[in-house]
Structures are given as C-alpha cells and as structure tokens.
Amino acid sequence: MLADLESLGKFSLHWDPSLASLHPPVGSEAALADDRLWFHRHPKALIRFRPIRRAEFAPLERLGDGPPSFVPEALRCKSPLTWVVVVDLTRSLREEDEDPALSLRVRLLTVPLRSKALQRVWAPVYLKAVLNDLLLQMELRNDADGCQAA
C-alpha cells in the first residue's frame, strides 16, 4: 500500500487532534463556510478544487506546521501550491441511509487545476491518495497498539 502512495506523488498529511480546539481566524472560517455551502449545493460531489484563501491555514502556521499538501507525480512542476483540494471523506465512505448532514472534509494544498475537465481527470487520484493515506495511518496505529499490548 505504501508503494501505491509513493507512485501517486508527493503527499504530506499531518493531523494533530489538539488543533481541533483552536479557534480558526476569519480567513479559515470563511473557507470552511464556503466549502460547507458548496458541498450542500453539490450533494453528489466528493471533491472540490478552488484557489486558496488568505489566512486559510493560519492555525497550522501559528503552530509552526505547514498545511497538508498533495501533488500527483505527473503534475509536479514549478507551479506554486496556490489551490486547495477539499475531499469530503464522509461522502466517499457513507452508506445510503446515513445522515447527509454529517461531514468530515480534508483540505490539501495543491497545484492549480483550473479547468473542470482537468479536475474530473485528477479527482480520482486525489481521492485515492487521501483514502490510502488514512488506511495507512489506521494500520500504523493498529500495529502500534498491538505492539504496546504485547
């Protein structure tokens, strides 16, 4: 599975549960509210691509950590990471009868993908990368828990 992630491209996803208690600045609040509204208006969408907003990742930067990012290997170039891909994890894993109001989304910096055609082509790559990374993190956590119990 790690080989699958490496073949997808440069991926960096770090999440610290203590960040959940931080009050995000206005830029971050606006981005979250806009994403929430966008996904509400697009109930079948799993992924959204959009330009980054000013101060969107300020809580991470205040802690000295950079925002998570993902750039597929084939898209690596000199383009700066000025766009965000928002992946709705809940929708990608949800059963049909579950509450659609519940959501968990991951925001990653990426290179600009301005055209809808390019976004459609690359959306499955981004989704696979995020889901593979989450599975890998769960496996690592289970392995660590198993080692501690032994």
Residue range 41-72, pLDDT digits in tens: 998 899 999 999 888 888 888 888 888 999 99
- CA separation, residue 84 to residues 21, 31, 71, 126, 140 (Å): 22, 10, 11, 11, 27
Please report which confidence band the pLDDT of residue 144 belongs to, taking 50, 70 and 90 as the band edges.
Answer: confident
Q: Is the pLDDT of residue 7 over 70?
A: no
User: Distance (Å, rounded) from C-alpha 71 to C-alpha 50?
Assistant: 15
CB-neighbour burial class of residue 109 (10 A; exposed 0-12, middle 13-18, buried 19+): buried
User: Distance (Å, rounded) from C-alpha 11 to C-alpha 69?
Assistant: 6
Q: Is the pLDDT of residue 122 over 80?
A: yes
Please report which confidence band the pLDDT of residue 18 belongs to, taking 50, 70 and 90 as the band edges.
Answer: very low
- Percent above pLDDT 90 for the chain: 35
Dump strand ranges (E) for the chain.
Answer: 9-12, 47-51, 69-72, 83-88, 105-110
Q: Is the pLDDT of residue 81 over 70?
A: yes
Q: Is the pLDDT of residue 113 over 50?
A: yes
Please report which confidence band the pLDDT of residue 30 belongs to, taking 50, 70 and 90 as the band edges.
Answer: confident
Taking residues 75-84, report their average pLDDT.
87
User: Distance (Å, rounded) from C-alpha 68 to C-alpha 57?
Assistant: 9
Extract the tokens encoding 87.
Answer: 């992946």
pTM (2 d.p.): 0.74
